[in-house]
Structure 1
Amino acid sequence: MEFPILMTTLLLLASYLLTTHLLRRSSTLPPTVFPSLPIIGHLYLLKPPLYRTLAKLSAKHGPIFRLQLGFRRVLIVSSPSAAEECLAKNDIIFANRPKMLYGKIIGVNYTNLVWSPYNDNWRNLRRIATIEILSIHRLNEFHNIRVEETRLLIRKLLFGFNSGSSQVTMTSTFYELTMNVMMRMISGKRYFGDDNPELEEEGNRFREIVGETLVLGGASNVGDYLPVLSWLGVKGLEKKLIKLQEKRDVFFQGLINQLRKSKGTEDVNKRKTMIELLLSLQETEPDYYTDTMIRNLVLVLLSAGSDTTAGAMEWVMSVLLNHPQVLKKAQNEIDSVIGNNRLVDESDIPNLPYLRCIINETLRLYPTGPLLVPHEASSDCVVGGYNIPRGTMLIVNQWAIHHDPKVWEDPETFKPERLEGLEGTRDGFKLLPFGSGRRSCPGEGLAVRMLGMALGSIIQCFDWERTSEEFVDMTGGLGVTMLKAIPLVAKFKPRPEMTNLLSEL
C-alpha cells in the first residue's frame, strides 16, 4: 500500500510543478525561478547576504523577476530603468509598505515614518520631517552644532596624537561624532567627550538599542511569509522585538519627560531642539502629537542619522586607506580651494567636486541600505511590460544596480573620477544611496552635510595610513544596513601644512 501512496504523491507534485511552470511561461507576469515549492515557494533560495543572492538570481533571470515567498508575491527590481518605472512612473502605487512584524512592532501599529502605510497620517509625518524638522532653514539653525562637533573631533585626535596615540578606531570615533550631533539637535544632550560618566552610559545604552534594532531589522521572520508558523507558536523574534520596543520607549520617553519638565525655564533666545519643537506642536494638537508619535519620529531621526552616517564615513576612510593616491588628490583639492588657514565648512562642499566624487563612489560600492526598504503595490500596474498585481511586495536591489557591469564600467573598482560632473548624489536611477520618490530618505540633506564637512576636515588636518601593509578588510556585516564587519583602525599624524591652524585649536 505504501508504494501507490508514494507514487500518487510524486505524480501530484510533478503535476503541480509542471502546471506552475507552464502558467509562468504563458502569463504576462514577470519571469520567475523554477521550481516554486508548495507552501514555501522560493524561500529555500534565500541565503545571506540577501542582496548578493538576489543579484545572482537577477543575473540569471533578468532585472525584473518575481519570487513567491510563502504567501507573498515579491517583485525584484535590479536595473535603473525598472527602478525608475517603480519609483517615478508608478511612485504613488508603490508608496505603500507591506505589513510585516518588524514594521508593525517598531511602528506601533504603523504610525512610524518608515513603516506607516501611504495615507494622510504618513503624509503629515513626512511633512513634519521635511518642513518642520529637516528643512534647509532648520538645518542651517543647527549648523554651529555640526561645526563645533567637527572641531572637537579634530581636537580629540590631536590630543590623542600628542599623548602618544597615533592609532584610532574609526568606528567608535565616527559614531560618537554623529551621535553627539544628532542628540544635540534632538534633545540638547552631548553624550560623548565631556567626561560625564552618566551621559556616556546613557549614550552607550542607546547605542546598544540601535545595534539591536539593526540586527533584528535584518533578521528574517518566517511568520511574515508563512503565517501558519506564527499561529503554531513561532514567536521568538516577536518577543525580542517587543522587548526591544519597550527599551526604546523607556529611553525616548525619558528624553521627552526631561524636556517637558524644563519647559518654561529655557532661554527664550535659544533655538528649540527637535523634541521641544514637537512638544510645542503638542500643545496645539495634543491628540495628534502624542508622546507615542514623538517617540517614533525621534527614533527614526536618531537611528537613521547616527549609525548609518557613521557607517558611511567608515567606508569612505576604508577605501581611502586602500587607495592612498586618491586620499592625496583629495588633500590637494582641499589645499587649493580652502587653504591652510581655516577648516572645511559645509558651504565649501559644492566647491570640492573630487571629495563629493569620493563620497558618492563609496556609496555606490557600499550603499548603507543595499536593499531599499520594501514597498507594496496598492493597485495593479505595469513594470517593464509585465503585469504586477495589487499587493505585490517590491524590493529594489540598489546594490545590484550599483554593481551591474551593464550600468557601470568595471563596477568593482573604486574610481571616483567616473562620477565627475554629477550633480548632487544621483545619476538618474543608476545611483540610489538615499532611495527615490515619496519614500526617499528625508534626512539626505543632513547626511550630505555631515559627510562632507567631517570627512573633509579630517582629510585636511591629518595624514592617514593603514596599520599594516595588508589592505583594509572590506567585508560587510549582517543586518538591515551595510556596516563593516571588522571595525576600521587607522594610523594618523597631523599634516605639516596644518601646524599653525591646529595649534590654534
Structure 2
Amino acid sequence: MDLLILMLGFYLSWGLLRALLYIANRGKLSKVGKLPPGPRPVPVIGNLFELGSLPHRSLTKLARTHGPIMSLKLGCITTVVVSSASWAREILQTHDVSFSNRLIPDSSTPFRHHEHGLAWVPVSPLWRNLRRICNVHLFAPKTLDSNQQLRHQKIQELLAYVKKCSETGSSVNIGEAAFRTSLNLLGSTILSIDLADPTSESAKEFKELVWQIMVELGKPNVADYFPFIKWLDPQGARQRMTGYTIRMHDIFGTIIENRLQHQNVSGFVRKNDMLETLLDLSKDKEEGVDLVLIEHLFLDLFGAGTDTTSSTLEWAMAELLRNPEKLSKAQAELEQVIGRGKPVKESDIARLPYLQATVKETFRMHPAGPLLLPRRAGATVQVGGYTIPEGAQILVNVWAVGRDPATWKDPEEFIPERFLGLDMDVKGRSFELLPFGGGRRICPGLPLAIRMLHLMLGSLLNFFNWRLEDCVSPETMEMGEKFGMTLQKAQPLRAVPLPIEI
C-alpha cells in the first residue's frame, strides 16, 4: 500500500516531465533499433504494478503473451526480461561481456558494499582479484577436500538433533535445521567456529537477519526506479539495510579481530580454514586484500551461502514428502550404494545419480534466486534483432526457464528421473538449468554449495524415514512462496523423523 501511495504521488508530480523525456528518448531509440515487445507502459510508473508480490511468476505470465524476450518500463528504468534457455544463452554467453556488470540497487550501498562486495562490484581488477581468490584459494577442489572433515562433523550434529526429535516424536522445522547446519558448515569451513549453537536462538536470529537482507535486496524499491529521488530513501530501505549491515559487520569484525589477537600469542596453532588464508593474503600487499575487503566478502558468502542452501534443501524435502514414491527411490539408492544408517561422505555423491537428479529437479522447479542478480547493459547492443539500450536492466527469469514447456515435459511435475542419463549440469554450461547463473558472474561458491546440499539431503534421507505432521497430507501440503532475493517456502516445512530399522 505504501508503494501505491508513493507511486500515485510521483505520478502527479512528475507526469509532465516524464512525458517530455519519453518523447525525447523515443526519438533517440528509433534511430538505433527497436526494443523487444512488451506490455504497454503507463506514463511515469510504466509497468511497475504488473510485477505483483511474486515478480518471477508475474513476469512468466507476461512472457506467455509477449514472448521469451520482452521489455518493460519500470519507472525510469528500461528492463529486458528473458525467459527461455536460448535467450539466456544470448545474454549470459554470447553477449556476456556487454552484460557483465550489475544494476546496483540502492539497498546494497550502505558502507559502500556495492564497491567492495563480490556480487556487486563491476568487472575490474578488483573483481578479477576477488574471483581469483575464490577460485584458487577458497573453493578449489583441493581446498574443499582438505577441510571436508569439518563439514562431516556438522552433519553429525544435525543428525544428533534430528535423532532427539525422533525419540520424542517431535517434528523438525526443516528450513531452520538446514539453515543452522548451513551456517555452521560455512562457519567451520571459513572460520573454524560455529556461528549458531544448536541449543540457542542464535541461528534463528541470524536466519532472520539474512532473510531481511534478502528481502530488502529483492523487493521493489521506488528509489531504484526513480534514481533522482534516491537521496530521499522514500521507503526506508537503505536505512534498514544500514542497520542489518552494521550487525553483520559487527559479527565478522569481532571474529577477525579475535583471530588476529590469537595469532600474536605464542604457541598459536594455525587453522586450516579460509580466514587464515585471507589473513595471509592480506599481509602480501601485492594481493590487494585488506580487512575491510574480507568483511565484505564474508557478508556475501554467508548471506548467499546459508539462505540459498537451506531454502533449496527445504524445497527438496517438501517435494519428496509430496511425492512419496520419489522419496522411496532416493532412499533405496542410498541403501543399495551406502547402506541405511551409514554416514554419507562427499566422495559418495558421484555414485548416487538419483540423489543428484533429485537436487537438479529441485533447482529446476525452485531456483533459490528466481531472477538471478540484475545485470546492466554496458553499451547499446543488438540481440536477436532487438535493441537493448545502454543502461537497461537485464533480468534472467531462471524460474521461467526451468518451467518452460518448450524444454521440459510436464514442467509442473516433480520428476527427478528426467535427469537420469541426461548430460546436464548446474555449472552454467546448460542454459536450461541455471540456479547459480552463468557466464563470468556465475556464483563462485557453487562448488561448496553443491557439496553441502547433497551431503545434508543424503544424510537426512539415509538416517531417517520421514512423514508429514498428522494434520497434513501430500495432497494438502502448502507449497506457496515468499519472494526476496531468494525464494523461500511461505509456510515452513515441518516433518516428523522416524527411526529406521537396520
Identify if the C-alpha distance between structure 1 residues 470 and 23 changes in structure 2 by more than 3 Å, giving closer, same or farther.
farther
Residue type matched to 1:279 in 2?
Answer: L
Residue type matched to 2:81 in 1?
Answer: I
Verify the 8 A CA contact 2:262 2:268 in the aligned structure 1: no
Larger CA Rg, structure 1 vs 2? 1
Identify if the C-alpha distance between structure 1 residues 171 and 202 changes in structure 2 by more than 3 Å, giving closer, same or farther.
closer
Of 149-158 and 352-361, deviating more is 149-158
Asked if 1:428 is matched to 2:430, the reply is yes
- Per the alignment, residue 187 of structure 2 pairs with 183
Tell me the TM-score normalized by structure 2.
Answer: 0.89
Report the alpha carbon displacement of residue 11 of structure 1 after superposing the two structures with TM. 13
- Per the alignment, residue 439 of structure 1 pairs with 441
- Per the alignment, residue 75 of structure 1 pairs with 80
Residue type matched to 2:259 in 1?
Answer: L
Superposed CA deviations along residues 265-289 of structure 1, whole A, max 9, x for unmatched, are 4877654322222112111229932
- Per the alignment, residue 388 of structure 1 pairs with 388
Report the alpha carbon displacement of residue 380 of structure 1 after superposing the two structures with TM. 2.6
Superposed CA deviations along residues 244-281 of structure 1, whole A, max 9, x for unmatched, are 22222222111111111111448776543222221121
Verify the 8 A CA contact 2:360 2:419 in the aligned structure 1: yes
Verify the 8 A CA contact 1:107 1:116 in the aligned structure 2: no
Of 261-270 and 142-151, deviating more is 261-270
| SS of 1:477 mapped into structure 2 | strand
Verify the 8 A CA contact 2:106 2:230 in the aligned structure 1: no
| SS of 2:481 mapped into structure 1 | coil
Distance 2:28 2:94 in 1: 28
Superposed CA deviations along residues 397-420 of structure 1, whole A, max 9, x for unmatched, are 001111111121111011111111
Of 104-113 and 402-411, deviating more is 104-113
Residue type matched to 1:480 in 2?
Answer: M
Residue type matched to 1:274 in 2?
Answer: M
Match of 1:470 among 469, 473, 491: 473
| SS of 1:223 mapped into structure 2 | helix
- Per the alignment, residue 59 of structure 2 pairs with 54
Verify the 8 A CA contact 1:365 1:399 in the aligned structure 2: yes
- Per the alignment, residue 12 of structure 2 pairs with none
Of 274-283 and 424-433, deviating more is 424-433
Residue type matched to 2:180 in 1?
Answer: E
Identify if the C-alpha distance between structure 1 residues 137 and 411 changes in structure 2 by more than 3 Å, giving closer, same or farther.
same
Match of 1:36 among 19, 33, 41: 41
Report the alpha carbon displacement of residue 445 of structure 1 after superposing the two structures with TM. 1.1
Asked if 1:480 is matched to 2:481, the reply is no
Identify if the C-alpha distance between structure 1 residues 210 and 12 changes in structure 2 by more than 3 Å, giving closer, same or farther.
closer
Distance 1:129 1:107 in 2: 21
| SS of 2:72 mapped into structure 1 | strand
- Where do 5+ consecutive residues of structure 2 fail to align? 1-14
Q: Superposed, which structure 2 residues align to 1:92-107 within 5 Å? A: 92-105=97-110, 107=112
Distance 2:251 2:197 in 1: 21
Of 44-53 and 265-274, deviating more is 265-274
- Where do 5+ consecutive residues of structure 1 fail to align? 1-9, 498-505
Tell me the TM-score normalized by structure 1.
Answer: 0.88
Residue type matched to 1:224 in 2?
Answer: D
Report the alpha carbon displacement of residue 233 of structure 1 after superposing the two structures with TM. 6.2
Q: Superposed, which structure 2 residues align to 1:100-499 within 5 Å? A: 100-105=105-110, 107-162=112-167, 164-193=168-197, 200=200, 203-231=203-231, 234=234, 236-265=236-265, 270-285=270-285, 288-340=288-340, 342-423=342-423, 424-425=425-426, 428-468=430-470, 469-471=472-474, 472-497=477-502
Distance 1:331 1:456 in 2: 8
Distance 1:12 1:317 in 2: 52
| SS of 2:382 mapped into structure 1 | strand
Report the alpha carbon displacement of residue 453 of structure 1 after superposing the two structures with TM. 1.4
Verify the 8 A CA contact 2:79 2:395 in the aligned structure 1: yes
Verify the 8 A CA contact 1:107 1:115 in the aligned structure 2: no
Distance 1:233 1:78 in 2: 31
Report the alpha carbon displacement of residue 66 of structure 1 after superposing the two structures with TM. 1.0
Distance 1:405 1:30 in 2: 25
Superposed CA deviations along residues 363-402 of structure 1, whole A, max 9, x for unmatched, are 1111101001011121232222212222221100001111
Verify the 8 A CA contact 1:88 1:437 in the aligned structure 2: yes
Distance 1:443 1:123 in 2: 15
Verify the 8 A CA contact 1:103 1:110 in the aligned structure 2: no
Distance 1:52 1:26 in 2: 34
Distance 1:430 1:266 in 2: 54
Verify the 8 A CA contact 2:169 2:497 in the aligned structure 1: no
Verify the 8 A CA contact 1:370 1:397 in the aligned structure 2: yes
- Per the alignment, residue 503 of structure 1 pairs with none
Verify the 8 A CA contact 2:342 2:462 in the aligned structure 1: no
Residue type matched to 2:473 in 1?
Answer: E
- Per the alignment, residue 64 of structure 1 pairs with 69
Report the alpha carbon displacement of residue 156 of structure 1 after superposing the two structures with TM. 2.2
| SS of 2:78 mapped into structure 1 | strand
Report the alpha carbon displacement of residue 13 of structure 1 after superposing the two structures with TM. 11
Residue type matched to 1:460 in 2?
Answer: N
Amino-acid identity (%): 34
Distance 1:212 1:308 in 2: 14
